[in-house]
Amino acid sequence: MKVEQLFTGCLAEMAYYIESNGEAAIVDPLRETEPYLRMAEADGAKIKYIFLTHFHADFVSGQYDLAKKTGATIVFGPNAVTEYEIYNGKDGEVFKLGKGTITLLHTPGHTMESSSYLITDEKGNTPCVLTGDCLFIGDVGRPDLATKSGEITEADLAGYLYDSLRNKIMPLPDDIIVYPNHGAGSSCGKNMSSETFDTLANQKKTNYALRADMTKEEFIVEVTTGLKPPPQYFPNNVKMNKSINTSIDEVLSKGTTALDPATFKEMSEQKDVLVIDTRSKEAYTEEGTVPGAWFIGIDGSFAPWVGALVTNIQQKIIFIAESDDRVSEIVTRFSRVGYDNTLGYLAGGINNWKTQGFDIDKVGSMSAKEFTDNLKAGKLEKPVDVRKDTEYLSEHVEGVENFPLDAINANFAQIDTNKAYYLHCASGYRSLIAASIFKANGVENVTDVRGGFKALKETDAPITDYVCPTTLL
């Protein structure tokens, strides 16, 4: 039985492709259908099942489109209710796939419908278990507030999670491989490892949540402490995952429309259209951009930042790409978090825009050394660190205020548009996003510090003493 892990770095998400004797199953597919269709075709296999571990909150999964194209059955665990046809598997139910089987284990906790899938090969061995957001490597799924409904509290969910882990996952063979749905960088847990799989035995030794002598009460406190509110797009993605959405093919055909500079300009000036510049940091700062554009570079945590910052999921979006061959990838990546209303891209890129003689907007750019020298000389009006508060409190440059990018929409009223801002983050991606949003909202004088905190630490900038982040909890 073939089990392949399909890792998507931007979302820190792992989908799975399983195949045996001409029958295939996909677990937790992303929005796009092509990669799965290609894999099955290469194996000469028919996709029979699409298994979901739960209603994802951090991306829109592609089960509906994929089932429509393949005739596969969509399987969710108990309690899942959707607008489209699904099969609700029962705890312990066995699904035949080629010469092997897949057993649904109902493992509520992260959400109530959460389920894990145990793979059994033709010899009756169980090489791996797909744990979804029940068990991660080094962590467990957060009791999911985004899908909280009715009377169930976060503590109730944590209690269910404890029982699921102790009764369903921990009794599995020690050498079984744990394949989770997320890795480091996802907001679905607090403390995930950058490893994408591990043996259960090793997790029992190293994962705090599986400690043998942990009581239920201790577990509940541990997993519910320090939970931040989920990113704003999470409830929207859950809703979309229960509904029938615009098909990915339709989203792609609309989003990949080439817009000539004059049309792009006209659209960019409409109040309800947002321009997103997806190019590299260097291209954005050196060449400048279309006035009012936000920078969210495609080569970074693109989709989660779109989701965190663009408050209207139906926002009309037009975008600038570094090259035309990345256009469909960009539209796909918007749609992975439910932003389906992309209307097209700037044909010929920023050079074509410049050729027309249209205006260019630029944020300032400063080296870490210049920042430090000017800070010490008292010449920086508003030096700001846009990292998370936990990062800031653990270590920061003295005299620099914290204004986290995560909360920029909620706190923007605190910004004085007449002042000069100097922004840094950890390495330069988030500060450029923030700088572009400052600029788009009327701050004329905004400068990005290249290389961020990492580069600043190599200058003689005054760094505060380390404060243990746990004191923040």
C-beta of 10 vs 274, nearer to Fe ion: 10
- b/e sequence 127-137, b meaning 16+ C-beta within 10 Å: bbbbbbbbbbb
Site for Fe ion in 238-277 (CB under 5 A): none
* CB-nearer residue toward Fe ion: 97 or 161: 161
CB of 107 to Fe ion, least distance (A): 12
Nearer to Fe ion among residue 31 and residue 430 (C-beta): 31
**Terminal-to-terminal C-alpha distance of the chain:** 45
Residue 178 or 188: the one with the smaller Cβ distance to Fe ion is 188
In whole angstroms, the minimum distance from the beta carbon of 116 to Fe ion comes to: 13
Among 120-128, 187-195, 317-325, 418-426, which window interacts with Fe ion (CB under 5 A)? Answer: 187-195
Nearest approach in angstroms of CB 377 to Fe ion is 48
Least spacing, CB of residue 206 vs Fe ion, in Å? 22
Q: Considering the complex, what minimum distance in angstroms separates the CB of residue 280 from Fe ion?
A: 30
- Integer CA distances (angstroms), 274 to 198, 310, 342, in order: 42, 9, 10
Beta bridge partners of 73: 49
Q: Which amino acid belongs to residue 396?
A: H
Segment near Fe ion (CB under 5 A), from 37-45, 157-165, 181-189, 460-468? 181-189
Residue nearest Fe ion (C-beta atom): 133
Q: Which is nearer to Fe ion, 133 or 322 (CB)?
A: 133
Cβ at position 322, least distance to Fe ion in Å: 31
- Report yes or no: 254 and 69 within 8 Å, Cβ to Cβ: no
For Fe ion, which is the closer residue by CB, 188 or 426? 188
Q: Which is nearer to Fe ion, 133 or 139 (CB)?
A: 133
Q: Per CB under 5 A, which of residues 109..168 are in contact with Fe ion?
A: 133
Reported for 440-445, long-range contacts at CB under 8 A and 24+ positions apart, including other chains, are 440/292, 440/293, 440/294, 441/412, 441/415, 441/417, 442/417, 443/415, 443/417, 443/419, 444/417, 445/364, 445/419, 445/420, 445/421
How many positions of this chain bind Fe ion (CB under 5 A)? 2
Q: What b-and-e string marks burial along 49-77, b requiring 16 or more CB atoms within 10 Å of the CB?
A: bbbbbbbbbbbbbbbbbbbebbebbbbbb
- Closest separation in Å from C-beta 323 to Fe ion: 33
408 is written with which tokens? 């920029």
188 binds Fe ion (CB under 5 A): yes
Residue 98: in which H helix or E strand, if any? none
Residues that bind Fe ion (CB under 5 A): 133, 188
